[in-house]
């Protein structure tokens, strides 16, 4: 399955992992969005259920198990090249989750990781999708944080 210049959108997952009032961010090592802060996630594999993909992607990227998965929403990530052609197109199913433990083992896909207050996201070089998600679902994120303090 081609990720660059795909023939159709690719289904993917993203996970906003919340511990207390903090969100786990990873700095992407590879395109798209290399060098930007984002959330763990990736493409859903053939035959894999979406929640299984959430757990697998988090495990692969940061070596962490998550629980209390809650569907947050769906985001279309469409990135065009300088000629206007679609270089990447993901339909990302976004989830909220809590970590089972705080032990993190980053993969080669992750340059570094941080725990950040939701209110501080605007101060970081985050992906456009995370910026839009945090604005669109601000109240829902605060509610989730409030329940998990």
- Element spanning 59, H or E: helix 50-62
- Element spanning 146, H or E: helix 138-147
The one-character DSSP state at 145 is H
Residue 108, burial from CB neighbour count under 10 angstroms (0-12, 13-18, 19+)? exposed
Separation between Cα atoms, residue 65 and residue 58, nearest integer Å: 7
Q: Is 2 part of a structural domain of the chain?
A: no
How many domains, the chain?
1
Q: Is 30 part of a structural domain of the chain?
A: yes
Beta strands in 41-130 (DSSP E): 41-43, 66-80, 86-99, 110-117
Q: Is 93 part of a structural domain of the chain?
A: yes
**pLDDT tens for residues 69-127?**
999 999 999 999 999 999 999 999 999 999 999 999 999 999 999 999 988 998 999 99
Q: Which residue has the higher pLDDT, 1 or 62?
A: 62
pTM flag (> 0.75):
yes
Q: Is 1 part of a structural domain of the chain?
A: no
Separation between Cα atoms, residue 4 and residue 144, nearest integer Å: 34
* Domain region containing 76: 10-144
Q: Is 35 part of a structural domain of the chain?
A: yes
Q: Is 80 part of a structural domain of the chain?
A: yes
**pLDDT tens for residues 29-84?**
998 889 999 999 999 999 999 999 999 999 999 999 999 999 999 999 999 999 99
Of 18, 24, 14, nearest to 114 (Cα)? 24
The CATH number covering residue 90 comes to 3.90.79.10
In the chain, the N- to C-terminal Cα span, in Å, equals 41
Q: Is 3 part of a structural domain of the chain?
A: no
Q: Are 24 and 113 in contact (CB under 8 A)?
A: yes
Tell me which residues are annotated as active site: 112
């Amino acid at each position: 399955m081609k990720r660059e210049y795909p023939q159709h959108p690719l289904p993917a997952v993203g996970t906003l992992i919340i511990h207390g009032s903090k969100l786990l961010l990873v700095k992407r090592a590879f395109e798209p969005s290399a060098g930007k802060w984002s959330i763990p996630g990736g493409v859903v594999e053939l035959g894999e259920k979406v929640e299984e993909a959430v757990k697998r992607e988090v495990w692969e990227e940061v070596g962490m198990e998550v629980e209390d998965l809650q569907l947050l929403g769906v985001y279309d990530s469409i990135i065009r090249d300088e000629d206007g052609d679609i270089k990447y197109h993901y339909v990302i199913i976004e989830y909220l989750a809590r970590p089972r433990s705080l032990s993190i083992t980053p993969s080669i896909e992750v340059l570094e990781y941080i725990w950040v207050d939701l209110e501080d996201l605007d101060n970081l070089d985050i992906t456009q999708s995370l910026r839009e998600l945090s604005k669109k679902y601000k109240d829902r994120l605060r509610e989730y944080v409030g329940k998990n303090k």
